[in-house]
Protein backbone atom coordinates (compact mmCIF):
# COMPACT_ATOMS: atom_id res chain seq x y z
CA UNK A 1 0.00 0.00 0.00
CA UNK A 2 2.82 2.31 0.94
CA UNK A 3 4.49 1.41 -2.36
CA UNK A 4 1.38 2.30 -4.29
CA UNK A 5 1.17 5.69 -2.56
CA UNK A 6 4.84 6.23 -3.25
CA UNK A 7 4.31 5.34 -6.91
CA UNK A 8 1.41 7.82 -7.12
CA UNK A 9 3.67 10.52 -5.74
CA UNK A 10 6.32 9.63 -8.30
CA UNK A 11 3.72 9.78 -11.10
CA UNK A 12 2.61 13.24 -9.99
CA UNK A 13 6.17 14.47 -9.61
CA UNK A 14 6.99 13.25 -13.10
CA UNK A 15 3.87 14.89 -14.46
CA UNK A 16 4.72 18.19 -12.78
CA UNK A 17 8.31 18.09 -14.04
CA UNK A 18 7.22 17.19 -17.55
CA UNK A 19 4.74 20.09 -17.68
CA UNK A 20 7.40 22.42 -16.37
CA UNK A 21 9.91 21.09 -18.88
CA UNK A 22 7.44 21.58 -21.75
CA UNK A 23 7.03 25.23 -20.72
CA UNK A 24 10.73 25.79 -20.19
CA UNK A 25 11.56 24.31 -23.57
CA UNK A 26 9.32 26.87 -25.24
CA UNK A 27 11.05 29.58 -23.29
CA UNK A 28 7.83 31.54 -23.06
CA UNK A 29 6.21 32.13 -19.68
CA UNK A 30 2.71 32.37 -21.18
CA UNK A 31 3.08 28.96 -22.82
CA UNK A 32 4.43 27.53 -19.57
CA UNK A 33 1.34 28.80 -17.80
CA UNK A 34 -0.94 27.50 -20.53
CA UNK A 35 0.68 24.05 -20.35
CA UNK A 36 0.33 24.09 -16.61
CA UNK A 37 -3.35 24.96 -16.82
CA UNK A 38 -4.04 22.45 -19.62
CA UNK A 39 -1.29 19.81 -19.74
CA UNK A 40 -0.82 18.14 -23.13
CA UNK A 41 -1.91 14.49 -23.34
CA UNK A 42 1.69 13.24 -23.49
CA UNK A 43 2.36 14.34 -19.91
CA UNK A 44 -0.95 13.44 -18.32
CA UNK A 45 -0.94 10.79 -15.62
CA UNK A 46 -1.92 7.17 -15.93
CA UNK A 47 -3.75 5.15 -13.31
CA UNK A 48 -3.90 1.50 -12.50
CA UNK A 49 -7.41 0.29 -13.28
CA UNK A 50 -8.30 -2.88 -11.43
CA UNK A 51 -10.79 -5.24 -13.01
CA UNK A 52 -11.66 -6.81 -9.73
CA UNK A 53 -13.08 -10.25 -9.22
CA UNK A 54 -14.19 -10.72 -12.82
CA UNK A 55 -16.70 -7.85 -12.63
CA UNK A 56 -16.53 -6.24 -16.02
CA UNK A 57 -18.90 -5.22 -18.81
CA UNK A 58 -18.69 -3.00 -21.85
CA UNK A 59 -21.11 -0.38 -20.55
CA UNK A 60 -19.12 0.10 -17.35
CA UNK A 61 -15.86 0.20 -19.30
CA UNK A 62 -17.14 3.04 -21.49
CA UNK A 63 -18.49 4.97 -18.52
CA UNK A 64 -15.35 4.55 -16.45
CA UNK A 65 -12.91 5.42 -19.23
CA UNK A 66 -14.85 8.55 -20.13
CA UNK A 67 -14.82 9.60 -16.48
CA UNK A 68 -11.05 9.18 -16.29
CA UNK A 69 -10.63 11.15 -19.50
CA UNK A 70 -12.72 14.00 -18.06
CA UNK A 71 -10.60 13.95 -14.91
CA UNK A 72 -7.42 14.46 -16.93
CA UNK A 73 -6.14 10.92 -16.86
CA UNK A 74 -4.88 9.84 -20.24
CA UNK A 75 -3.62 6.30 -19.69
CA UNK A 76 -4.96 3.21 -17.96
CA UNK A 77 -3.00 0.22 -16.81
CA UNK A 78 -5.63 -2.52 -16.83
CA UNK A 79 -5.09 -4.99 -14.07
CA UNK A 80 -7.22 -8.13 -13.68
CA UNK A 81 -7.49 -9.08 -10.04
CA UNK A 82 -9.33 -11.36 -7.70
CA UNK A 83 -10.87 -11.10 -4.26
CA UNK A 84 -10.01 -14.38 -2.62
CA UNK A 85 -6.85 -13.38 -0.80
CA UNK A 86 -7.57 -13.32 2.90
CA UNK A 87 -6.37 -10.26 4.71
CA UNK A 88 -6.33 -8.12 1.61
CA UNK A 89 -9.84 -6.86 2.20
CA UNK A 90 -8.79 -3.29 1.55
CA UNK A 91 -8.50 -4.08 -2.11
CA UNK A 92 -11.26 -6.57 -2.69
CA UNK A 93 -14.54 -5.87 -1.02
CA UNK A 94 -16.93 -7.12 -3.66
CA UNK A 95 -18.01 -10.41 -2.14
CA UNK A 96 -21.63 -11.46 -2.29
CA UNK A 97 -22.41 -10.29 -5.79
CA UNK A 98 -22.53 -12.81 -8.58
CA UNK A 99 -24.06 -10.74 -11.36
CA UNK A 100 -22.02 -9.23 -14.16
CA UNK A 101 -19.10 -11.57 -13.80
CA UNK A 102 -17.21 -12.42 -16.95
CA UNK A 103 -14.90 -15.38 -16.80
CA UNK A 104 -11.33 -14.16 -17.35
CA UNK A 105 -9.63 -15.38 -20.51
CA UNK A 106 -13.00 -16.30 -22.06
CA UNK A 107 -13.92 -15.00 -25.52
CA UNK A 108 -16.43 -12.66 -23.83
CA UNK A 109 -13.67 -11.29 -21.58
CA UNK A 110 -11.34 -10.62 -24.50
CA UNK A 111 -14.24 -8.84 -26.23
CA UNK A 112 -14.39 -6.54 -23.19
CA UNK A 113 -10.67 -5.84 -23.66
CA UNK A 114 -11.22 -5.20 -27.38
CA UNK A 115 -13.97 -2.76 -26.38
CA UNK A 116 -11.61 -0.99 -23.97
CA UNK A 117 -8.95 -0.68 -26.69
CA UNK A 118 -11.49 0.80 -29.13
CA UNK A 119 -12.80 3.18 -26.50
CA UNK A 120 -9.24 4.29 -25.67
CA UNK A 121 -8.64 4.99 -29.36
CA UNK A 122 -11.89 6.95 -29.61
CA UNK A 123 -11.07 9.00 -26.51
CA UNK A 124 -7.41 9.54 -27.46
CA UNK A 125 -6.21 7.58 -24.44
CA UNK A 126 -3.56 4.88 -24.11
CA UNK A 127 -3.65 1.48 -22.43
CA UNK A 128 -1.28 -0.91 -20.79
CA UNK A 129 -1.97 -4.34 -19.35
CA UNK A 130 -0.62 -6.38 -16.55
CA UNK A 131 1.23 -9.26 -18.20
CA UNK A 132 -1.02 -11.92 -16.74
CA UNK A 133 -4.54 -12.29 -15.33
CA UNK A 134 -3.64 -11.86 -11.67
CA UNK A 135 -1.95 -9.52 -9.24
CA UNK A 136 1.59 -10.78 -8.96
CA UNK A 137 4.17 -12.39 -11.18
CA UNK A 138 4.27 -13.56 -14.77
CA UNK A 139 2.45 -16.70 -15.74
CA UNK A 140 -0.93 -18.23 -16.34
CA UNK A 141 -2.71 -21.41 -17.35
CA UNK A 142 -0.77 -21.56 -20.63
CA UNK A 143 2.52 -22.10 -18.79
CA UNK A 144 3.37 -25.82 -18.76
CA UNK A 145 5.09 -27.35 -15.75
CA UNK A 146 8.17 -27.70 -17.96
CA UNK A 147 8.23 -23.92 -18.41
CA UNK A 148 7.47 -23.15 -14.74
CA UNK A 149 9.96 -21.70 -12.22
CA UNK A 150 12.71 -24.24 -11.55
CA UNK A 151 15.06 -24.96 -8.70
CA UNK A 152 18.10 -27.19 -8.33
CA UNK A 153 17.80 -30.23 -6.05
CA UNK A 154 20.35 -32.86 -5.13
CA UNK A 155 20.66 -36.31 -3.64
CA UNK A 156 23.97 -37.47 -2.20
CA UNK A 157 25.28 -41.01 -2.03
CA UNK A 158 28.48 -42.16 -0.33
CA UNK A 159 30.27 -45.08 -1.98
CA UNK A 160 33.29 -47.04 -0.77
CA UNK A 161 35.87 -47.59 -3.51
CA UNK A 162 37.50 -49.26 -5.19
CA UNK A 163 34.72 -50.92 -7.12
CA UNK A 164 32.04 -50.62 -9.77
CA UNK A 165 28.94 -48.66 -8.74
CA UNK A 166 26.73 -50.15 -11.49
CA UNK A 167 23.28 -49.50 -10.02
CA UNK A 168 20.60 -46.85 -9.84
CA UNK A 169 21.79 -43.61 -8.31
CA UNK A 170 19.15 -42.25 -5.89
CA UNK A 171 17.49 -39.04 -7.14
CA UNK A 172 15.90 -36.22 -5.17
CA UNK A 173 12.62 -36.32 -7.12
CA UNK A 174 9.93 -33.65 -6.98
CA UNK A 175 7.44 -31.95 -9.27
CA UNK A 176 8.51 -32.54 -12.89
CA UNK A 177 11.96 -33.80 -11.82
CA UNK A 178 14.64 -33.72 -14.51
CA UNK A 179 18.32 -34.60 -14.25
CA UNK A 180 20.90 -31.84 -14.38
CA UNK A 181 24.33 -33.38 -13.66
CA UNK A 182 26.20 -36.05 -11.73
CA UNK A 183 29.47 -35.32 -9.95
CA UNK A 184 31.69 -37.31 -7.62
CA UNK A 185 34.62 -36.49 -5.37
CA UNK A 186 36.69 -38.37 -2.88
CA UNK A 187 35.80 -37.58 0.70
CA UNK A 188 38.70 -36.33 2.77
CA UNK A 189 40.00 -38.56 5.48
CA UNK A 190 40.67 -37.11 8.90
CA UNK A 191 44.34 -36.46 9.46
CA UNK A 192 46.26 -39.35 11.00
CA UNK A 193 46.74 -37.56 14.33
CA UNK A 194 42.99 -36.84 14.67
CA UNK A 195 42.21 -40.44 13.80
CA UNK A 196 44.61 -41.51 16.55
CA UNK A 197 42.67 -39.58 19.23
CA UNK A 198 41.14 -41.73 21.96
CA UNK A 199 37.50 -42.62 21.30
CA UNK A 200 35.16 -41.39 24.01
CA UNK A 201 31.86 -43.00 24.96
CA UNK A 202 29.22 -40.59 23.66
CA UNK A 203 25.74 -40.15 25.09
CA UNK A 204 22.87 -37.81 24.19
CA UNK A 205 20.01 -36.33 26.20
CA UNK A 206 17.69 -37.67 23.52
CA UNK A 207 17.83 -39.21 20.07
CA UNK A 208 15.32 -39.71 17.30
CA UNK A 209 15.00 -43.50 16.79
CA UNK A 210 15.91 -43.25 13.11
CA UNK A 211 18.79 -40.80 13.66
CA UNK A 212 20.84 -42.18 16.55
CA UNK A 213 23.95 -40.64 18.06
CA UNK A 214 26.54 -42.82 16.22
CA UNK A 215 25.54 -40.88 13.09
CA UNK A 216 27.29 -37.85 14.61
CA UNK A 217 30.69 -39.57 14.78
CA UNK A 218 30.98 -41.69 11.63
CA UNK A 219 32.96 -39.16 9.56
CA UNK A 220 30.11 -38.92 7.07
CA UNK A 221 28.41 -35.56 6.61
CA UNK A 222 25.35 -37.21 5.11
CA UNK A 223 24.38 -39.07 8.27
CA UNK A 224 23.21 -37.12 11.29
CA UNK A 225 21.89 -37.29 14.81
CA UNK A 226 18.51 -35.72 15.56
CA UNK A 227 17.25 -34.81 19.02
CA UNK A 228 13.74 -35.84 19.99
CA UNK A 229 10.96 -33.68 18.63
CA UNK A 230 8.87 -33.51 15.50
CA UNK A 231 6.54 -30.64 16.41
CA UNK A 232 7.18 -26.91 16.42
CA UNK A 233 8.36 -25.80 19.85
CA UNK A 234 10.16 -29.05 20.71
CA UNK A 235 13.62 -27.73 19.83
CA UNK A 236 16.07 -27.28 22.71
CA UNK A 237 15.74 -24.20 24.92
CA UNK A 238 17.66 -22.79 27.87
CA UNK A 239 15.05 -24.32 30.18
CA UNK A 240 15.05 -27.66 28.38
CA UNK A 241 18.42 -28.06 26.65
CA UNK A 242 19.73 -31.00 24.65
CA UNK A 243 23.26 -32.30 25.16
CA UNK A 244 25.80 -34.76 23.84
CA UNK A 245 28.45 -35.92 26.32
CA UNK A 246 31.92 -37.45 25.93
CA UNK A 247 33.38 -39.80 28.50
CA UNK A 248 37.06 -40.68 28.21
CA UNK A 249 38.84 -43.54 29.95
CA UNK A 250 41.73 -41.21 30.80
CA UNK A 251 41.66 -37.38 31.07
CA UNK A 252 41.64 -35.88 27.58
CA UNK A 253 43.24 -32.51 26.84
CA UNK A 254 40.73 -30.71 24.63
CA UNK A 255 41.79 -27.66 22.60
CA UNK A 256 38.77 -27.28 20.31
CA UNK A 257 35.28 -28.54 19.60
CA UNK A 258 34.37 -29.36 16.04
CA UNK A 259 30.70 -29.29 15.01
CA UNK A 260 29.24 -29.90 11.59
CA UNK A 261 25.52 -29.18 11.82
CA UNK A 262 23.13 -30.76 9.41
CA UNK A 263 22.93 -27.91 6.95
CA UNK A 264 19.98 -25.69 7.88
CA UNK A 265 18.85 -27.77 10.89
CA UNK A 266 21.66 -27.47 13.39
CA UNK A 267 22.11 -26.08 16.90
CA UNK A 268 22.51 -22.34 17.43
CA UNK A 269 23.50 -21.41 21.01
CA UNK A 270 25.87 -23.93 22.59
CA UNK A 271 28.19 -24.33 25.55
CA UNK A 272 31.12 -26.67 25.84
CA UNK A 273 31.13 -27.94 29.42
CA UNK A 274 33.43 -30.12 31.49
CA UNK A 275 32.80 -32.21 34.57
CA UNK A 276 34.87 -34.11 37.09
CA UNK A 277 32.22 -36.80 37.59
CA UNK A 278 29.78 -36.59 34.68
CA UNK A 279 27.18 -35.06 37.02
CA UNK A 280 28.09 -31.45 37.80
CA UNK A 281 28.98 -29.40 34.77
CA UNK A 282 30.96 -26.21 34.36
CA UNK A 283 30.94 -24.15 31.19
CA UNK A 284 34.29 -23.84 29.42
CA UNK A 285 33.12 -21.84 26.42
CA UNK A 286 29.86 -20.48 24.99
CA UNK A 287 29.47 -20.01 21.27
CA UNK A 288 26.85 -19.65 18.56
CA UNK A 289 26.85 -21.94 15.56
CA UNK A 290 26.08 -20.80 12.04
CA UNK A 291 23.36 -22.49 10.07
CA UNK A 292 25.57 -24.44 7.70
CA UNK A 293 29.06 -25.87 7.20
CA UNK A 294 31.64 -27.39 9.55
CA UNK A 295 32.67 -25.09 12.40
CA UNK A 296 35.47 -25.31 14.92
CA UNK A 297 35.79 -23.38 18.19
CA UNK A 298 39.11 -23.22 20.03
CA UNK A 299 39.21 -23.36 23.84
CA UNK A 300 41.97 -22.99 26.39
CA UNK A 301 43.61 -26.40 26.71
CA UNK A 302 41.35 -28.20 29.20
CA UNK A 303 41.95 -31.62 30.69
CA UNK A 304 38.99 -33.71 31.84
CA UNK A 305 37.44 -37.17 31.57
CA UNK A 306 33.98 -35.71 30.96
CA UNK A 307 32.91 -33.06 28.44
CA UNK A 308 29.57 -32.22 26.93
CA UNK A 309 28.08 -29.99 24.29
CA UNK A 310 25.06 -28.25 25.79
CA UNK A 311 22.59 -27.00 23.17
CA UNK A 312 20.17 -24.29 24.27
CA UNK A 313 18.66 -23.26 20.95
CA UNK A 314 18.31 -24.53 17.41
CA UNK A 315 18.04 -23.14 13.90
CA UNK A 316 14.79 -25.10 13.51
CA UNK A 317 11.79 -25.21 15.81
CA UNK A 318 11.21 -28.98 16.01
CA UNK A 319 14.56 -30.42 17.12
CA UNK A 320 18.28 -30.01 16.43
CA UNK A 321 20.53 -32.02 14.13
CA UNK A 322 24.28 -32.69 13.97
CA UNK A 323 26.18 -34.46 11.19
CA UNK A 324 29.58 -34.65 12.89
CA UNK A 325 30.83 -33.74 16.34
CA UNK A 326 34.26 -34.26 17.94
CA UNK A 327 36.67 -32.90 20.46
CA UNK A 328 40.16 -32.14 19.25
CA UNK A 329 43.51 -31.76 20.95
CA UNK A 330 45.11 -28.29 20.92
CA UNK A 331 46.38 -27.53 17.42
CA UNK A 332 44.34 -30.18 15.66
CA UNK A 333 41.99 -29.34 12.84
CA UNK A 334 38.77 -31.22 12.11
CA UNK A 335 38.01 -29.90 8.66
CA UNK A 336 40.81 -27.78 7.31
CA UNK A 337 40.29 -29.18 3.90
CA UNK A 338 38.83 -27.74 0.80
CA UNK A 339 37.86 -29.56 -2.30
CA UNK A 340 40.01 -28.59 -5.29
CA UNK A 341 37.72 -27.95 -8.28
CA UNK A 342 39.82 -30.23 -10.49
CA UNK A 343 39.08 -33.10 -8.08
CA UNK A 344 35.35 -32.91 -8.82
CA UNK A 345 34.60 -35.54 -11.47
CA UNK A 346 31.88 -35.02 -14.05
CA UNK A 347 29.97 -38.33 -14.22
CA UNK A 348 26.95 -36.91 -16.01
CA UNK A 349 27.54 -38.98 -19.14
CA UNK A 350 28.16 -42.14 -17.11
CA UNK A 351 24.51 -42.26 -15.98
CA UNK A 352 21.97 -43.70 -18.39
CA UNK A 353 18.36 -42.65 -18.95
CA UNK A 354 17.17 -45.03 -16.23
CA UNK A 355 19.50 -43.45 -13.67
CA UNK A 356 21.96 -46.35 -13.63
CA UNK A 357 25.44 -45.03 -12.92
CA UNK A 358 28.10 -47.05 -14.73
CA UNK A 359 31.26 -45.91 -13.01
CA UNK A 360 34.14 -47.65 -11.33
CA UNK A 361 35.29 -45.76 -8.29
CA UNK A 362 38.98 -45.67 -7.44
CA UNK A 363 40.21 -46.32 -3.90
CA UNK A 364 38.62 -44.23 -1.12
CA UNK A 365 35.23 -43.02 0.09
CA UNK A 366 33.38 -41.15 -2.62
CA UNK A 367 30.55 -38.74 -2.46
CA UNK A 368 28.39 -38.95 -5.56
CA UNK A 369 25.84 -36.19 -6.08
CA UNK A 370 22.97 -36.50 -8.52
CA UNK A 371 21.68 -33.04 -9.32
CA UNK A 372 18.29 -32.47 -10.82
CA UNK A 373 15.87 -29.63 -11.23
CA UNK A 374 12.20 -29.48 -10.34
CA UNK A 375 9.32 -27.08 -10.70
CA UNK A 376 8.84 -24.89 -7.64
CA UNK A 377 5.10 -25.32 -8.28
CA UNK A 378 4.59 -21.61 -7.70
CA UNK A 379 1.50 -20.11 -9.32
CA UNK A 380 0.42 -16.53 -10.02
CA UNK A 381 -1.79 -14.97 -7.36
CA UNK A 382 -4.33 -13.78 -6.62
CA UNK A 383 -6.05 -14.73 -9.83
CA UNK A 384 -9.48 -15.94 -10.69
CA UNK A 385 -9.54 -19.76 -10.32
CA UNK A 386 -9.88 -20.19 -14.08
CA UNK A 387 -6.90 -17.92 -14.68
CA UNK A 388 -4.48 -19.49 -12.21
CA UNK A 389 -1.35 -21.05 -13.63
CA UNK A 390 2.37 -21.54 -13.10
CA UNK A 391 4.80 -18.69 -12.87
CA UNK A 392 6.97 -19.00 -15.96
CA UNK A 393 10.70 -19.73 -15.74
CA UNK A 394 12.18 -16.22 -15.71
CA UNK A 395 15.64 -17.47 -16.69
CA UNK A 396 14.41 -19.26 -19.80
CA UNK A 397 14.15 -17.13 -22.92
CA UNK A 398 11.93 -19.84 -24.43
CA UNK A 399 9.55 -19.92 -21.44
CA UNK A 400 9.26 -16.12 -21.19
CA UNK A 401 8.75 -15.76 -24.94
CA UNK A 402 6.04 -18.41 -24.83
CA UNK A 403 4.38 -16.64 -21.89
CA UNK A 404 4.18 -13.32 -23.72
CA UNK A 405 3.40 -14.61 -27.18
CA UNK A 406 0.99 -17.46 -26.41
CA UNK A 407 -0.58 -16.12 -23.22
CA UNK A 408 -2.91 -13.25 -22.45
CA UNK A 409 -0.67 -10.53 -23.89
CA UNK A 410 -0.31 -12.33 -27.22
CA UNK A 411 -4.08 -12.68 -27.43
CA UNK A 412 -4.60 -8.97 -26.56
CA UNK A 413 -2.08 -7.87 -29.18
CA UNK A 414 -4.06 -9.83 -31.78
CA UNK A 415 -7.34 -8.02 -30.97
CA UNK A 416 -6.70 -4.69 -32.71
CA UNK A 417 -3.23 -5.02 -34.23
CA UNK A 418 -3.34 -1.60 -35.91
CA UNK A 419 -3.66 0.07 -32.52
CA UNK A 420 -0.62 -1.70 -31.02
CA UNK A 421 2.08 0.89 -30.34
CA UNK A 422 -0.44 3.73 -30.66
CA UNK A 423 -3.20 2.90 -28.20
CA UNK A 424 -1.87 -0.28 -26.59
CA UNK A 425 1.54 0.83 -25.46
CA UNK A 426 2.49 -0.91 -22.21
CA UNK A 427 2.90 -4.21 -20.44
CA UNK A 428 3.61 -4.34 -16.75
CA UNK A 429 5.05 -6.97 -14.45
CA UNK A 430 3.87 -5.96 -11.00
CA UNK A 431 5.03 -7.20 -7.64
CA UNK A 432 7.18 -10.26 -8.25
CA UNK A 433 6.22 -12.70 -5.50
CA UNK A 434 7.20 -15.96 -7.16
CA UNK A 435 9.70 -17.11 -4.56
CA UNK A 436 13.18 -18.44 -5.17
CA UNK A 437 14.23 -19.96 -8.42
CA UNK A 438 17.85 -20.89 -9.02
CA UNK A 439 17.91 -23.09 -12.09
CA UNK A 440 16.82 -23.35 -15.68
CA UNK A 441 17.56 -26.13 -18.18
CA UNK A 442 20.11 -23.98 -20.05
CA UNK A 443 21.79 -22.70 -16.87
CA UNK A 444 25.11 -24.53 -17.28
CA UNK A 445 25.42 -23.58 -20.96
CA UNK A 446 24.49 -19.93 -20.32
CA UNK A 447 26.80 -19.74 -17.32
CA UNK A 448 29.73 -20.93 -19.41
CA UNK A 449 28.87 -18.44 -22.16
CA UNK A 450 28.48 -15.48 -19.80
CA UNK A 451 31.16 -16.24 -17.19
CA UNK A 452 33.70 -18.04 -19.35
CA UNK A 453 34.01 -21.23 -17.28
CA UNK A 454 32.07 -24.35 -16.40
CA UNK A 455 30.09 -24.24 -13.16
CA UNK A 456 30.00 -28.02 -12.75
CA UNK A 457 33.08 -28.40 -10.48
CA UNK A 458 31.59 -25.71 -8.23
CA UNK A 459 28.18 -27.33 -7.82
CA UNK A 460 29.15 -28.99 -4.49
CA UNK A 461 29.43 -25.46 -3.05
CA UNK A 462 25.89 -24.63 -4.12
CA UNK A 463 24.25 -25.39 -0.75
CA UNK A 464 27.03 -23.66 1.13
CA UNK A 465 28.22 -26.60 3.20
CA UNK A 466 31.11 -27.69 0.98
CA UNK A 467 33.97 -25.36 0.15
CA UNK A 468 35.35 -25.81 -3.35
CA UNK A 469 38.72 -24.13 -3.89
CA UNK A 470 38.79 -21.31 -1.35
CA UNK A 471 35.82 -19.92 0.55
CA UNK A 472 36.13 -16.75 -1.54
CA UNK A 473 36.01 -18.76 -4.75
CA UNK A 474 33.00 -20.72 -3.52
CA UNK A 475 31.11 -17.62 -2.60
CA1 LIG B 1 27.62 -38.29 10.30
Say how many Å lie between the CA of residue 225 and the centre of ligand 1.
7
Higher-confidence residue: 361 or 473?
A: 361
> Ligand 1 centroid vs 213 CA: distance in angstroms?
9
Q: Rounded mean pLDDT of the chain?
A: 89
Distance 46 CA to ligand 1 centre (A): 60
The whole-number average pLDDT for the span 318-335 is 92
- What pLDDT shows up at residue 92? 47
Lowest mean pLDDT among 46-55, 135-144, 175-184: 46-55
Q: Kindly state the percentage of the chain with pLDDT values over 90.
A: 69
Distance in angstroms (rounded) separating the CA atoms of residues 403 and 143: 7
Answer yes or no: is pLDDT of 402 > 60: yes
Distance 75 CA to ligand 1 centre (A): 62
pLDDT score at 385:
84
Cα–ligand 1 centroid distance for 443 (angstroms): 32
Give the per-residue pLDDT at 175: 98
CA distance 238 to 367: 37
For 35-45, b where at least 16 C-beta lie within 10 A, e where not — what string? Answer: beeebeeebbb
For residue 155, the CA-to-ligand 1 centroid distance in Å is 16
Whether 13 has a pLDDT exceeding 70, the answer reads no
pLDDT at site 143 = 98
Q: What is the pTM of this model?
A: 0.70
Average pLDDT over residues 260-286: 95
User: Is the pLDDT confidence value at 206 over 60?
Assistant: yes
Residue 80: per-residue pLDDT: 84
User: What is the Å distance from ligand 1's center to 303 Cα?
Assistant: 26
Cα 216 to ligand 1 centroid, rounded to whole Å: 4
Determine the distance separating the centroid of ligand 1 and the alpha carbon of 92, expressed in angstroms. 52
Ligand 1 centroid – CA 401 distance (Å): 46
- Residue 350 CA to ligand 1 centre (angstroms): 28
pLDDT band at residue 250 using 50, 70 and 90 as cut-offs:
very high
Cα 129 to ligand 1 centroid, rounded to whole Å: 54
Q: How far is the CA of 458 from the centre of ligand 1 (A)?
A: 23
Ligand 1: centre distance to CA 325 (Å): 8
d(C-alpha 320, C-alpha 326), whole Å: 17
Question: What pLDDT is recorded for position 53?
Answer: 67
Ligand 1 centroid–CA 241 distance in Å is 21
What's the CA-to-centroid distance between 214 and ligand 1, angstroms? 8
Task: Compute the distance between CA of residue 177 and CA of residue 442 in angstroms, rounded to an integer.
Answer: 15
Q: How far is the centre of ligand 1, averaged over its atoms, from the C-alpha of 335 (Å)?
A: 13
How many A from CA of 238 to the centre of ligand 1?
25
Across 302-323, average pLDDT: 97
Question: pLDDT value at position 192?
Answer: 81
* pLDDT at residue 78 greater than cutoff 50: yes
pLDDT of 21: 52
* Residue 393 scores a pLDDT above 70: yes
Q: What is the pLDDT of residues 94-141, one digit of tens each?
A: 444 556 678 889 999 999 999 999 999 999 999 999 999 988 889 999
Interval between CA 262 and ligand 1 midpoint (Å): 9
CA of 43 to the centre of ligand 1 (A): 66
Ligand 1 midpoint to CA 167 (Å): 24
Could you tell me which residue, 87 or 58, shows the higher pLDDT? 58
pLDDT at position 27 is 59
List pLDDT tens digits, range 343-359: 999 999 999 999 999 99
State the distance from the centre of ligand 1 to the C-alpha of 254, rounded, in angstroms. Answer: 21
Ranked by mean pLDDT, the top range of 127-136, 170-179, 329-338 is 170-179
Among candidate residues 153, 125, 50, the one with its CA nearest the CA of residue 92: 50
The stretch 214-225 carries a mean pLDDT of: 88
Ligand 1 mean position, distance from CA 219 (Å): 5
- Predicted confidence at residue 9, as pLDDT, reads 45
Residue 280 has pLDDT above 60, yes or no: yes
pLDDT band at 93 (very low <50, low <70, confident <90, very high): very low
Q: What is the pLDDT of residue 135?
A: 84
Give me the percent of the chain exceeding a pLDDT of 70: 89
Task: Pick the closest to residue 319 from 226, 247, 205 (CA basis).
Answer: 226
pLDDT tens readout for residues 428-440: 998 888 888 999 9
3-state secondary structure 27-58: CCHHHHHHHHHCCCHHHCCEEEEEEECCECCH
Report d(CA 317, CA 133) in Å as an integer.
Answer: 37
End-to-end CA separation in angstroms for the chain? 36
The kind and range of the H/E element at 159 are strand 150-164
pLDDT of 151: 97
pLDDT score recorded for residue 82 = 76
Rounded to 5°, angle at Cα 389 from 388 and 391: 125
Q: Please say if the pLDDT value at position 327 is more than 70.
A: yes
pLDDT at 271: 98
* Ligand 1 centroid from CA 226, angstroms: 11
Q: How far apart are CA 357 and CA 97, in angstroms?
A: 60
What's the gap in Å between 263 CA and the centre of ligand 1? 12
Q: How far is the CA of 165 from the centre of ligand 1 (A)?
A: 22
Task: Compute, in angstroms, the gap from residue 221 CA to the centroid of ligand 1.
Answer: 5
Q: Cα of 223 to ligand 1 centre, how many Å?
A: 4
Amino acid sequence: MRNKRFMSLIVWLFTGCAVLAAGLRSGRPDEMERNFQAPPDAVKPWVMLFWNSDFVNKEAISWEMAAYKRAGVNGLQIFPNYEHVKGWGWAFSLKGTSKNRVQPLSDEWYECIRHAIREADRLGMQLGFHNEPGYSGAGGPWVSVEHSLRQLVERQTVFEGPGAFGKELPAAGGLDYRDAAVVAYRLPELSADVQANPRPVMRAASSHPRYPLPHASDNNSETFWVSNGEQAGQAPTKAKPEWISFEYAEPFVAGAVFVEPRSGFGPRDCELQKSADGQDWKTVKSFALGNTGPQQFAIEATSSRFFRLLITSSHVGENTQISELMLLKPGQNGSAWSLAPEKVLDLTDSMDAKGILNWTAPEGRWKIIRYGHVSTGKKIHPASPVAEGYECDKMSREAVRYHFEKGMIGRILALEPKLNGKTVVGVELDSYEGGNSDWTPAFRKEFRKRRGYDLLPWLPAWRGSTVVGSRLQSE
